[in-house]
Amino acid sequence: MADIDASAFLGYVNYRKGQGKASATVNGDLAVLRKTLRVAQELGKLDVVPRIRMLRPASPRAGFFEADQFELVASALPPALALVVRIG
């Protein structure tokens, strides 16, 4: 663990991004790793926890219905299907 440094984190990030993983997924991995290293430090297994920089999250998704648009679509559906869509 003492050999883990910034270049190791960068290599891991590049590896995961190369697998097509989203920044949020990689950030989750890094958060678990950071917590693991902190626990190792608390247990005396590691002197210093290296700084782990998180990735910038992606922009919010676009193209979803606004509430009024949803109601227009739902009202055009048969009642049974509209109920399923509203529950979903």
Residues 6 or more apart whose CB falls under 8 angstroms from that of 47 comprise 2, 41
Q: What is the pLDDT of residue 23?
A: 92
Check whether residue 77 and residue 52 sit in a common domain: no
CB neighbours of 75 closer than 8 A, spacing ≥ 6? 82
pLDDT 10s digits, 24-73: 999 999 999 999 999 999 999 989 888 888 999 877 777 777 888 888 99
Report the domain count for the chain: 2
Global pTM?
0.63
Nearest Cα to 50, choosing from 64, 37, 60?
37
- Domain range for residue 24? 1-57
Please tell me whether residues 33 and 47 are part of one structural domain. yes
Residues 38 and 10 in one domain: yes
Structure-token match 């949020």, residue found: 24
